[in-house]
Structure 1
């Protein structure tokens, strides 16, 4: 007599993942932004990339990542890695952001916390592996305020943006010949981006404040693909070479706008409800050309002990249709280096079995602002904290924590300097599902 079984620990974890998934769905519905960058007003906002905390902690290297601590890992950024899965992998996590914005002698601090990712990878034995999940694609969150005047009429003008785009994906990877793997992800992008302009009249209390809210409703399919070649060296080391790219993806953006007026007040904590709608409009759907991306990278590892790697990336944003009044986006370039080490996998001391991760990345972004190219760089650190094995050693889990300490922009040329700390918290479960157990 036989029965199919999954571990009790996994059942508990599934409830946790379900809870995070419902929280993530609520976040998706609310379109909450976790970006507070003035540079997120360009393009589609701050791009989040398909990275989990494990790879973010290593500077964001991902193209050549196939194994971590000697075991296959779920790497959404390169779907060719799915073919190496030998256990079902469940990933879920949260994301936090702390930002300091500075210009001249002024500074402002913001913080936010939101849903990070939910993903599952399932091995198909000789038929490869597949994965599906939900994660953020981009965030928008910027704000500026000025006091202006026309003759004797003084008014306060505030411009800000919010919202984000999410990605639900399904991917498959297979190894047609020994050492070589190929794969692809099909991602459905959806979400709303809001650009809002508010005007309050300071000198005339009888004048109604007005608000213009422009919405871009984003929908569309984006396909990316990857290749990996993995080879053992001297039976001690493993070298993996990787490449990822995107198709000529185009998605739909349906713009609309609404102009409203509200009652006059000068309490920043009070949001006055609209008194009347002055104008509304919905416009024809237009196509948005997503950037053509190319990434190459490698990793070199020694079993459970250590891994080092590097990535080089390129994206062509020059064909992206920007909003009226914005500078055209440019081509972007960047690189990342990083790695991890486990002091002693055979030790009985817990901290000798922890994965310690470190990395650095640099990107020349596609944004030109005030005739200056905006660069982004960050140092990242992280930990992989193992949890006790359960289900007779068939289930093993890990808590992954990463922190990025970065800067975007500078104080030169009247720019805004953005210093940030991005915290990613993830929970990983590796389990053998659908095992046939014999019963006496």
Structure 2
């Protein structure tokens, strides 16, 4: 008689994953935003790359990443990597953001936390590997306020945005010939983006506040693909070269607008918005088709077993065909250069700190946005750690806690623009387990 068994540690992991899945579902429903960038009002918001803390800590290199610590990894940024999986891999995590916004007149600080990723990779032996999960695609979070006068009438206009887009994906990768792997992801994008305009009259106590909310309901399918070639260099080193890309898929934005009025703010709080008391207008606007950017990424990694790995990526995106609304700023092509690596001092040591993965990286991005004749660029230094947990289930289950931090700057003070200085923290939990082991019972 035979049974297929999984480790007891996996049961704990599944409870964690289910809990995070419920949390992710609540976050998706609520459309909470972790962006506080004024530049998120353009395009589809602040785009979140398909990266886990392991690769974020190395500057965001991902195209040529197939192995970490000499073992296969779940790298959804290049689905060709799925072919190398030899254990079931569970990835789940959280994201935190601390941002300082500055212009020539003032400075402000913001902070937020949210779900960052949930993914599972399943090896299919000689048939490759399968992966699926849920990750954020983009989010919007901006606000701006101005006070104006019309004769003796003073009023405050507040512009703000909120919401986000999520991506549920299913991917497959296979190795048709030795050393070469190919794969693809199919992602379903869904979510709501809200642009709000509030008008509050300051010196007329019986005037109504007015709010206009425009909603973009995003739905669509996005396809990305990749290939990798891995080759041993002698007995100690391994080189992986990769390419990944994304089609300029078309998704749908269903647009609607609702205007409401509410009692004027009598509390003296400029940020307070009274609940709406009546709807003055509600209509469905015309739907629009949005071209996602065409993407091309190339990269490589060079590694020495469990000891170290270095790599670099060049990523190109073409946003020139994108236009969400008639009045939106035209976007251009963008690119990112990323370099990074990790080192494990001594994988055979009994000292715990010698078995920790230490990661470092750098990235520079020319974003697709040009605003007030100024290129909006982004750069960051990244650091991170991979803390191994004790092996369980007779060595078949091993896990790791991954933490990364991105210390960066986006934008500029030139032309009266906004400069963002930020610290992004990503926390991830990785579980590698051998599922469905066939055992004989007497």
Q: TM-score, normalised by structure 2?
A: 0.98
The question of 1:301 aligning with 2:303 is answered yes
In 2, the alpha carbon distance for the partners of 1:363 and 1:30 equals 30
- Which residue is 1:272 aligned to? 274
Q: CA deviation at 1:206?
A: 1.7
CA displacement 1:157-195 (0-9 Å, x = unmatched): 000000000000000000000000000000000000000
Instruction: Give 1:205 shift.
Output: 1.5
Match of 1:410 in 2: 412
Question: Does 57-66 or 279-288 show the bigger shift?
Answer: 279-288
Structure 1 CA distance for aligned equivalents of residues 139 and 275 of structure 2: 26
Gaps of 5+ in 2: none
SS in 1 for 2:277: strand
Q: Is the 8 A contact 2:212 2:259 kept in 1?
A: yes
**Could you tell me how far apart the structure 1 residues matched to 2:326 and 2:246 are?**
27
1:25 is matched with which residue?
A: 25
Q: Which residue of 2 aligns with 1:169?
A: 169
Contact 1:322 1:329 in 2 (8 A): no
Cα-Cα RMSD:
0.9
Structure 1 residue runs without a partner (length 5+): none
Contact kept, 8 Å, 2:247 with 2:293, in 1: the verdict is: no
Query: Hey, what's the Cα distance between the residues in 1 that align with 2:125 and 2:44?
Result: 38
CA contact (8 A) 2:291 2:321 kept: yes
**Match in the other structure for 2:51:** 51
Equivalent in the alignment of 2:11: 11
CA deviation after TM superposition for structure 1 residue 235, in Å: 1.5
What is the TM-score of this pair, normalised by structure 1? 0.99
Deviations 1:54-83 (A, max 9, x none): 000000000000000000000000000000
The match for 1:253 is 253
CA distance in 1, matches of 2:2, 2:40: 56
Q: Distance in 1 between matches of 2:270 and 2:106?
A: 19
* Cα distance, 1:273 vs structure 2: 1.1
| Residue aligning to 2:64 | 64
Counterparts of 1:318 and 1:150, CA distance in 2: 39
Q: Deviations over 1:338-362 (max 9, x none)?
A: 0000000000000000000000000
Alpha-carbon distance in 2 for matches of 1:327, 1:410: 18
Runs (4+) off by over 6 Å: none
- The answer to whether 1:354 aligns with 2:350 is no
Q: Find 2:335's aligned residue among 333, 336, 347.
A: 333
Q: Provide the C-alpha distance between the structure 1 equivalents of 2:193 and 2:216, rounded to a whole number of angstroms.
A: 5
| 3-state DSSP of counterpart to 1:10 | helix
Residue 96 of structure 2 is aligned to residue 96 of structure 1: yes
Which residue, out of 348, 358, 373, partners 1:371? Answer: 373
**1:317 matches 2:319:** yes
In the other structure, the counterpart of 1:240 is 240
Between the two proteins, the alignment pairs up a number of residues equal to 440
Residue by residue over 1:216-235, the C-alpha shift from the partner in whole angstroms, topping out at 9 and shown as x without a partner, is: 00000000000100000012
